[in-house]
Structure 1
Amino acid sequence: MFGTSGVRGPFGGLITPELAMSLGHALAATGLDRVVVGHDARTTSPLLADSASSALRSAGVDTVRAGQVSTPALARGVEFTDSDAGLMITASHNPPEDNGFKLWEPSGQAFGEARRAEVEAALNALEPAYASWDAIGAEESAEQLTAQHVDALCDAVDIDGSCSVVVDLGNGMGNATVEALLRLGCEVQTLNATPDGRFPGRPSEPTAATCATLCSVVANTDADLGIAHDGDADRMMAVDETGSFVGGDELLALFAREVVSDGERAAAPLNTSLVVDDVLEAQGGSLTRTKVGDVYVAEAALDDDVVFGGEPSGAWIWPDEALCPDGPLAACKLVELVEQRGSLAAQRATLASYPLRRTTVETDQKAEIMARVRDAVRQTYDSERISTLDGVRIEYDDGWALVRASGTQPLVRLTAEARDERRVDELVEEVRQLVDDAR
């Protein structure tokens, strides 16, 4: 049930108050004594938080109610509130009809495979155990988590306030970015700043297509850059001063170049561009490729010599600060980078540009298709060119391609990169044919 980013689905379908209660009892069955519970602005989130909290307390677990909060604030709040785990009610960047659950360790890291498996086993074997009437869990409020998050952001960067920034919150939970930048002296203009789980301003996921208004505003003002968050603010994407959307691989390369020194590493998933390898190699560093999912990037970031991790989708991790993807932290780090290194457009211009294609195939038979693709690839390509760490990645002399099942949606994702446009189109068609033959 739990994918790489928790569990998500349509409210009233997969996600119900009954599932929230079962999850609360399952968490109690794993031996937790104290859980901090928060939720995003989706219309169904408060009642799911109520259901989960009620089940936890009825099983004798103390709950800390964080209220409406961003995912990074909740993840950091597990330690702040001295809790054993964090439960965030959110579907992140999914559409408004969806909801879901994310689980967090006291370290601020998402539950890994072992912890997720433990919770799933408790769910599957569930027989709710209720505490006696005089031993139910206590409940307290911790609505200060956003303020504590803002304090941590301000401490994490050196900003003199010379930047003008447009922040598109997407009607989500990224207000910590605004508060921190204002406190640091920046000029800030906001778009879609009112939390609203219907996401009336734009779709929740910040992409080049959904951030057209942000691009236009930045292009037609004297802003130095634009920032965009998703619904729960664990993601951050950006727009340079010309109004051009900055690709996730470019951001990953810029952040990694700023942080990684000789002999150090960054961590990123298998679908990351070669431009990141090039940047790190020039600095004497290297890139460790992980499975897709910020939980795997965070696990790699536990190594002492991994000083940064990220995903092109917009999740960024500085392990010295936090092991959760933190959109507001990334926003502040990017403003710091622009203040210290100059124009974001000029910094982008120093990066190589390789054509990269990403597309998807809709299917409700992900597992079967991926099994057939693996078999076909093993019969077609030399073994040293194949990685099955996460999906199927094929290395070519002049590029690479990845076929991978989505962890949260009924999709198979196809990604390819090469040194020129003609070749990347050939690679996309090659792996698309593999998937078509497997259907």
Structure 2
Amino acid sequence: MEVFGSSGTRGTVNESFTPEFVVRVAQAAGTVWDAERAAVARDTRVTGGMLADAAASGLASVGTDVDRLGRTPTPSAQAYAERAQVPVVMVTASHNPPEFNGIKLIGPDGVGLSVDALELIEEAFLEDGVETVPWDEVGTRRRVENVNDDYVAELLSAIDRERIAAADLTVALDPGHGAGALTSPEFFRALGCEVVTVNAQPDGHFPGRDPEPVAENLADLGRLVRTADADLGIAHDGDADRAIFFDERGEFVEGDAALAALATAELDPGETAVSAVNVSQRLVDAVDAADANLELTPIGSTHIVSRVLDLERQGATVPIAGEGNGGIFFPDFRLARDGAFTAARFLEQVASRRASEAVAPFADYHNVRRNVDYADRDERDRMLAAAEEWAEREDAELTTIDGYRLDYGDAWALTRPSGTEPLIRVYAEARDADRAEELAAAVGDALEAGRN
């Protein structure tokens, strides 16, 4: 897809991502949806109001009435979509820096659009398939109140409140000035937790930290956990569809370890977990221990959604899906990444044991990630061909849905070209550090052989 990537479309505002672009995307979506009503929501970014106005104008121009939801987390917008049975244009750039903005498209079932659905909208966008209406048939607009309150109430009904409240937990929360600041503090307090916060003022300049919840951006949260003697630290990205954790010692919890711990609690024999092709050995081991199945997809939430839907149509049970970046799906609740819900499910575990104990079985893994540059497309293709030949000779299970992933049982290695930079990504992981280093080196040697 040219317009939509693995998690919508985004770019630098008034450079690659303009109000005119947003109008056209909304017009294309409205044309394909052919719905009487749709909704528009936004996160806290400075440019969100301008671009939400553009999205609403685009929808109205094709005859769609527009519900204006205002500032809200993406999972809250998805909850509204399902309640009201209307599609949603969500204006957000998720974890990107403040100068970025973007669009995620949500279906009337509350689920992010599948690859097939996005391709239809992209076709309308690229091939001038938009159908505007006469002046007296344009859509109307209305403001919808209490969207965030309704979302919090829905979360509370889906979580074991008594178990969490009885544990008398303290939560340190860092919404990163994003949309989670509008809902998560209230939610965790309603669960019976004492909540202390940092970066909890909605602010599209993101003055306290960048929106991406990675370890290097979350030092303040680690300090807050230690200072407040908190049981768990929770961080969101800009639209709060992800949750990343710190344990009770104020130590960063790898997202892959949290995913594996959550999967262990969810999976029964014969059930299926879905993740991307760069899935950690942690989740592989958790799935194997549960005697469950693991399905891999190309990287990105859109691909995961599409695969879960396919599996469910085939009769499979998929209680958990997601990636190690904190974006986790619990399809029995909703096929949507939801940072607050994910954190609450982890709190259900922390209610009976420490966070560090929950992830301890998945702590001792070693990861190696390397970037290999190339001069031009021809050189890249030669290098990837050499990596493929090497992979086919290895005594391992080969997956080629997104690059070349080799599963050895005790370790894995992945080679794939970057979609945004002139680089080939090399990943390797094993419980033994030397084993991971050796696999990464072997992949690197194969790539270099193709360069020459």
Give the alignment's TM-score, normalised by structure 2.
0.90
**Secondary structure of the equivalent of 1:301?**
helix
User: How many residues are aligned here?
Assistant: 436
Q: Which amino acid aligns with 1:174?
A: G
Deviations 1:236-268 (A, max 9, x none): 100000011110111111100111112212211
| 1:347 equivalent in alignment to 2:358 | yes
| 1:72 equivalent in alignment to 2:75 | yes
Deviations 1:391-432 (A, max 9, x none): 221334652211234556776433211242122123223334
Deviations 1:193-236 (A, max 9, x none): 11112211111111111111111111232210100000111111
Q: Which amino acid aligns with 1:358?
A: R
Q: Which amino acid aligns with 2:217?
A: T
Q: Give the structure 2 partner of residue 44 of structure 1.
A: 47
Q: Give the structure 2 partner of residue 298 of structure 1.
A: 305
Mark the runs of 5 or more structure 2 residues left unpaired by the alignment.
none
Separation (CA, whole Å) in 1 of partners of 2:353 and 2:266: 16
Q: Give the structure 1 partner of residue 433 of structure 2.
A: 421
The alpha-carbon deviation at position 75 of structure 1 amounts to 1.7
Contact 1:309 1:316 in 2 (8 A): yes
Query: Larger deviation: 275-284 or 259-268?
Result: 275-284
The alpha-carbon deviation at position 335 of structure 1 amounts to 1.3
Q: Which amino acid aligns with 1:389?
A: I
Separation (CA, whole Å) in 2 of partners of 1:109 and 1:370: 36
Contact 2:281 2:412 in 1 (8 A): no
Separation (CA, whole Å) in 2 of partners of 1:315 and 1:174: 14
Q: Give the structure 2 partner of residue 63 of structure 1.
A: 66
Query: Larger deviation: 375-384 or 50-59?
Result: 375-384
Cα distance 1:65–1:424, how it changes in 2: closer, same or farther (>3 A)?
Answer: same
**Secondary structure of the equivalent of 1:195?**
coil
Q: Where do residues 6-405 of structure 1 align in structure 2 (5 Å cutoff)? A: 6-33=8-35, 34-83=37-86, 85-126=87-128, 128-160=130-162, 161=165, 162-175=168-181, 176-302=183-309, 303=312, 304-339=316-351, 341-351=352-362, 353-360=364-371, 371-382=381-392, 385-396=397-408, 398-405=410-417
Contact 1:177 1:329 in 2 (8 A): no
Contact 1:300 1:306 in 2 (8 A): no
**Secondary structure of the equivalent of 2:334?**
coil
Separation (CA, whole Å) in 2 of partners of 1:409 and 1:100: 19
**Secondary structure of the equivalent of 1:323?**
strand
The alpha-carbon deviation at position 371 of structure 1 amounts to 4.0
The alpha-carbon deviation at position 385 of structure 1 amounts to 4.1
The alpha-carbon deviation at position 128 of structure 1 amounts to 4.8
**Secondary structure of the equivalent of 2:137?**
coil
Q: Which amino acid aligns with 2:348?
A: E
**Secondary structure of the equivalent of 1:22?**
helix
Higher helix fraction (1 or 2): 2
Contact 1:268 1:287 in 2 (8 A): yes
Percentage of pairs with the same residue? 37
Separation (CA, whole Å) in 2 of partners of 1:337 and 1:94: 30
Separation (CA, whole Å) in 2 of partners of 1:323 and 1:437: 43
| 1:430 equivalent in alignment to 2:436 | no
Query: Larger deviation: 302-311 or 275-284?
Result: 275-284
Contact 1:416 1:428 in 2 (8 A): yes
Query: Larger deviation: 423-432 or 206-215?
Result: 423-432
Query: Larger deviation: 168-177 or 354-363?
Result: 354-363
Question: CA RMSD of the aligned region, Å?
Answer: 2.3
The alpha-carbon deviation at position 352 of structure 1 amounts to 5.7
Cα distance 1:153–1:31, how it changes in 2: closer, same or farther (>3 A)?
Answer: closer
Contact 2:171 2:193 in 1 (8 A): yes
Q: Which amino acid aligns with 1:345?
A: S
Cα distance 1:433–1:38, how it changes in 2: closer, same or farther (>3 A)?
Answer: farther
Separation (CA, whole Å) in 2 of partners of 1:433 and 1:7: 35
Separation (CA, whole Å) in 2 of partners of 1:102 and 1:292: 16
Contact 1:17 1:47 in 2 (8 A): yes
**Secondary structure of the equivalent of 1:30?**
helix
Cα distance 1:214–1:105, how it changes in 2: closer, same or farther (>3 A)?
Answer: same
Query: Larger deviation: 105-114 or 207-216?
Result: 105-114
**Secondary structure of the equivalent of 1:306?**
coil
Contact 1:227 1:236 in 2 (8 A): yes
Cα distance 1:266–1:188, how it changes in 2: closer, same or farther (>3 A)?
Answer: same
1:5 to 7, 17, 23: 7
Contact 1:81 1:142 in 2 (8 A): no
Separation (CA, whole Å) in 2 of partners of 1:359 and 1:179: 41
Contact 1:301 1:308 in 2 (8 A): no
Cα distance 1:127–1:308, how it changes in 2: closer, same or farther (>3 A)?
Answer: closer
The alpha-carbon deviation at position 144 of structure 1 amounts to 2.2
Separation (CA, whole Å) in 1 of partners of 2:174 and 2:318: 30
Separation (CA, whole Å) in 2 of partners of 1:364 and 1:182: 54
Separation (CA, whole Å) in 1 of partners of 2:141 and 2:374: 43
